[in-house]
Each structure stands twice: as C-alpha cells, then as structure tokens.
C-alpha cells in the first residue's frame, strides 16, 4: 500500500504535477491558479489572453487561442503535454452566471450559456481525460453551483447548466475510474468575489438567509481544490462536495 | 386503477388532521378503514363518517408509542375487518419539540420527542409486516415532513424523528420488497390543522411558499390513494414531496429572483 500524506502534512502536495486550467470567471481563475501554484503544481492557463492575466500571476504556461471544438482542445492538451511533460489535473472553473426570467431568455443566450458553461467543460474534460486515461493517472475537478440541486426563480437556464456539470462528473468518474482518472465536483454557493465586508453583505436578505450569515469567499474553496487535486483524496471520485455556508441543508 | 374496493386500510392518528383527511380519501376510493388513535372521541367520529360513506370501519384506541399496545390494536383491526392491505403511518405526537436551544433540551424531552414520532411508525410497521409478507402483498405509507429532509433552527427531536421515518421507509422497502410489500413516504409541506394550531412550531406565512398558500388537508387524499392503489405497484422506497414548491427552492429566500445578463461578447469567453 502506498503512503499518502495529507495536504497539511506537506507544503507542496502538488509538487511535480501539471494542472491545465481553462480560464473561467476572472476572480476564480486567479484564485485557483494561485492556490495550485502555491501547492507546487505547474499551471498551464488556457484561453486567457496574456494581457488579461492578473498582476502577480505567472503560470508555467499560457495556451492562447480559441477553444470551440474538440480538435482545438485535443491540440491544446497535446501541446501542454509536449511542453510540460505531463498532465495530472484539469480544473473546470465557474464560467458565466445568467439569471433572467425564462420568458426573457433568447435562443441565442441559451445556446451561448450552454456552450460556455457545459459544452466547453465537456470538451476540455474529454480531451484531458483521454490523455490522462492513456497515462493511467489524472484528476478532473469541476466547479458546480448549488443551484444544480435547488431551484431559483430566474435561474432556470443557469441551474440547468450546473446540473449538467454535476451529472457529467458522476458519469465520467465511473467511465474512467478503472483507468486511474478521478472526477469530482466542488459545489459552490453564493460567493462574493469582491471581498465586501460581512456587515455590508448582511444588509442583503439573501445573506441573512444563509446559516453562516455571509457569502463565500474565493479562499473558502481553495483548500478543497488542493485536496481534491492531490493524492490525499485518491479514493474520492464521483463526488460533488458543497461549500455553501449551509445553504443546501436549509429548510 | 385507483380503486381500493375490498382493501383494508389502517390509518394511525386518523381521528383528526391530515390522518382524518387521508382516512376519508381512502374510504371514498373504496377501502374499509381502521382508524387508530389515542383519543376515543375523534377516532369514533371518524369511523362513523367512514361508515356513512358505505364502508366498513373500526375505531381502535391505542397508545402507539407502546409496542404491545400497537400489536394489540392491529389484532383488533384484523379480527374486525380482516388483514390490513394498506398501513398509513401518520400518528406522531407533535408539540414541544421545537424552539429550544440544544443546551436546554433535557434527556426526557429528547427521548420523548423522538420516540413520540418515530416509535408508532416502527411498531405499527412491525405489527403488520409479517402478515403482509405472508400474503404476498401490502403497502406501507409513512408520513414524514420537510423538516425530515432539511434542517431548521432549534429543532432537534421533530426533524431527527421525521428524518428517521424517511430512512425507515427505505429499510422497509429494501427488506420487504421481495415479499411483494412496498413502502413509500409522503412529505407534506405546511398544512394547517387543529393540531398545528396548538403546536409551538409556527407555520410560515404563505408568502414563503412558492405556491403562495399553505396546503389543504384534502389535497393529500389523491396522493395517499395513489400510493395505496395498484397504480403505484412498482414504486417503493420513494419519498414524495407535496409542499407547494417549498423544497424545490431553499437556496435563497423565497421570492429572491436575481437578474444578470451575459457579457456582451460571450462567444469569446468559452475558454
């Protein structure tokens, strides 16, 4: 039996690993890349134009370009592997939130949301997962909103995309488990990416409704990201773990 | 398909509230009904109303938190009406379980609060299941609560016991399925009855229910008839929520409906 260290037991549990991170919502992208790099992983950021990179973030590599087809994501994965020698981790970050009355949602907006939130994550997961399966090691981590499991007025399309990501995670976990590839979800609740003070947040009815009386911060998710990305979670697959201040258990 | 003619149903706590509504619905669908409860007046009144519908009925008085009493009650029901085809585990002592900080919950309050709700469901299921299995048919319908699926502040005994009833349903379904006996669970939302009016657990205002109103006890009737009938014969171990949409949400306050558009050039953001 192999010995597994917990992330806390070592400073860099991801040392020697290469993570591919397709750019998502900017604040999430910055926080996730930093957390992975701090944990010792090499990070290859895909899709973000270099001049849009947040200050202070210098990933191992940047793959610029359009990624609208599996041909493009396959090529990006192959390039990452050829340049950095391996691919251990794929992170599908939060992309776009869209809250509109169903009556107001155009066909075009619906298609765009499905493309950005669902189909893109699927293509990246398939391209990276097949490469990982061939190497008998890999780890796909997908951010999934709690609205995948709870309804919200004006959230029909967004919630649908999140349920799709949750379902994708469970099925890919089974399909590639024997090939040594894990797939897990990080469930997120209501998150304040701007760092508003808690006292100010609590003026919102939504925040007073949450059992922990605050929105999530990006940092709330990074420990789980590193844990799921590391071998410390080697027996965890097919799970979406929710960090939402208790919203999911609220009556 | 929903006809219950000739079936014998037993409804615990059937003398009042949701139990009475379900007992009457089963009788209207054709079942003979045993009404089991603690208070003689209400169960006899319920039995009388069922007889007025042209069905056979019996009122059996019992303290169902006592296993021996529960078994005796079902012996009485079987000798009066015949073997039980449908058991509705509705009885539960409600009151005094909520609104108390955990450090103020006494041992007696904890044990009494949980057992008053959970024990009748277990003892009555135990009392009927051997006979159901021997006959190769039977339907057990448990009544839980939204608070058995989600947490509520300062609510321990009620939520724990109702959550346990969901799990009792699953255990019964998995254990008895091979004998042709099914077990399912109804999760009612907020249905005001004379019992809840006396309970310290406050009902929410209708504005917090997506349907905009609380439930009417009669609305449970078609659901319990369906679960009691052959129409649901392949359904077991399931939880059926009837709550005006309350549990469909819960990730934000009721009525919270944000508006947020996509960025103007979304096609460039697929990365």
Interface predicted TM-score (ipTM): 0.81
- A22 touches B at CB < 8 Å: yes
**Residue B245 contacts residue B207 (beta carbons within 8 Å):** no
The pLDDT tens digits for B198-254 are 665 666 678 888 889 999 999 999 999 999 999 999 999 999 999 999 999 989 988
Which pLDDT value is given to residue A67?
93
**Residue A117 contacts residue A92 (beta carbons within 8 Å):** no
Q: A235 in helix, strand or coil? A: coil
Give the global pTM: 0.87
List of chain A residues whose C-beta atoms are within 8 Å of the C-beta of residue B187 = none
Q: Could you report how far apart the first and last alpha carbons of chain A are, in Å?
A: 43
Mean pLDDT calculated for residue range A106-121: 96
The pLDDT tens digits for A56-112 are 678 888 898 889 999 999 999 999 999 999 999 999 999 999 999 999 999 999 999
Greater confidence, A222 or A10? A222
Which pLDDT value is given to residue B264?
54
List of chain B residues whose C-beta atoms are within 8 Å of the C-beta of residue A96 = 262-263, 266, 269
Distance set, CA A107 to CA A3, A102, A117, A161, B258 (Å): 52, 11, 15, 15, 20
Cβ pair A98:B257 closer than 8 A: no
Please name the residue of chain B whose CA is at the shortest distance from the CA of residue A63.
B271
Using alpha carbons, select from A242, A240, A148, A140 the residue that is nearest to residue A188.
A242
**CA dist., res. A186 & res. A194, Å (int):** 20
**CA dist., res. A172 & res. A180, Å (int):** 12
Cβ pair B261:A100 closer than 8 A: yes
Q: Which of B158, B179, B234, B251 is catalytic?
A: B158
The pLDDT tens digits for B149-171 are 999 999 999 999 999 999 999 99
Residue keyed to tokens 């201040």: A245
Q: B143 in helix, strand or coil? A: strand
Name the burial class of residue A58, with classes exposed (0-12), middle (13-18) and buried (19+) by CB atoms within 10 angstroms of its CB: exposed
**B146, containing H or E segment:** none
Cβ pair A116:B253 closer than 8 A: no
Which pLDDT value is given to residue A8?
54
B88: Cβ contacts below 8 Å, ≥ 6 apart? B9, B10, B11, B12, B14, B19, B22, B23, B26, B141, B143, B224, B228
């Amino acid at each position: 039996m192999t010995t597994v260290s917990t992330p806390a037991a070592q400073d860099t549990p991801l040392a020697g690993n290469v993570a591919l991170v397709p750019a998502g919502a900017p604040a999430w992208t910055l926080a996730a890349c930093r957390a992975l790099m701090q944990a010792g992983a090499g990070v290859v950021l895909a899709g973000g134009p270099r001049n849009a990179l947040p200050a202070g973030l210098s990933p191992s590599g940047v793959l610029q370009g359009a990624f609208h087809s599996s041909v493009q994501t396959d090529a990006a994965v192959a390039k990452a592997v050829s340049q950095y020698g391996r691919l251990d981790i794929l992170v599908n970050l939060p992309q776009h939130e869209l809250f509109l009355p169903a009556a107001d949602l155009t066909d075009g907006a619906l298609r765009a949301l499905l493309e950005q939130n669902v189909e893109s994550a699927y293509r990246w997961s398939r391209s990276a997962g097949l490469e990982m399966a061939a190497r008998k090691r890999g780890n796909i981590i997908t951010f999934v909103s709690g609205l995948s499991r709870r309804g919200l007025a004006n959230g029909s399309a967004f919630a649908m995309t999140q349920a799709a990501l949750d379902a994708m995670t469970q099925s890919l976990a089974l399909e590639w488990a024997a090939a040594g590839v894990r797939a897990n979800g990080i469930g997120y609740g209501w998150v304040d990416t701007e760092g508003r003070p808690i006292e100010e947040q609590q003026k919102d009815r939504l925040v007073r409704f949450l059992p922990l009386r605050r929105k999530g911060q990006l940092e709330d998710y990074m420990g789980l990201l590193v844990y799921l990305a590391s071998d410390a979670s080697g027996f965890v697959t097919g799970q979406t773990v929710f960090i939402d201040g208790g919203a999911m258990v609220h009556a | 398909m929903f006809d219950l003619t000739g079936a014998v149903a037993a409804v615990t706590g059937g003398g009042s509230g949701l139990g009475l509504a379900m007992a009457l619905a089963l009788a209207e669908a054709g079942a003979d009904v045993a009404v089991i409860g603690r208070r003689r007046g209400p169960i006899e009144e319920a039995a009388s109303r069922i007889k007025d519908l042209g069905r056979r009925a019996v009122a059996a008085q019992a303290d169902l938190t006592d296993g021996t009493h529960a078994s005796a009650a079902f012996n009485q029901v079987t000798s009066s009406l015949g073997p039980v085809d449908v058991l509705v585990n509705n009885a539960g002592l409600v009151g005094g379980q909520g609104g108390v900080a955990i450090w103020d919950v006494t041992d007696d309050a904890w044990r009494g609060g949980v057992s008053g709700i959970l024990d009748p469901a277990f003892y009555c299921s135990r009392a009927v299941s051997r006979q159901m299995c021997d006959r190769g048919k039977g339907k057990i319908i448990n009544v839980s609560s939204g608070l058995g699926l989600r947490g509520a502040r300062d609510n321990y005994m009620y939520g724990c016991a109702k959550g346990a009833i969901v799990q009792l349903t699953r255990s019964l379904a998995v254990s008895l399925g091979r004998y042709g006996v099914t077990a399912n669970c109804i999760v009612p939302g907020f249905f005001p009855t004379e019992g809840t009016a006396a309970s310290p657990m406050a009902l929410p205002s209708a504005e917090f229910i997506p349907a905009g109103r609380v439930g009417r006890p009669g609305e449970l009737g078609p659901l319990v008839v369906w679960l009691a009938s052959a129409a649901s014969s392949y359904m077991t171990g399931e939880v059926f929520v009837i709550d005006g949409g309350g549990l469909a949400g819960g990730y934000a306050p009721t009525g919270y409906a944000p508006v947020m558009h996509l960025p103007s050039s979304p096609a460039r953001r697929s990365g």
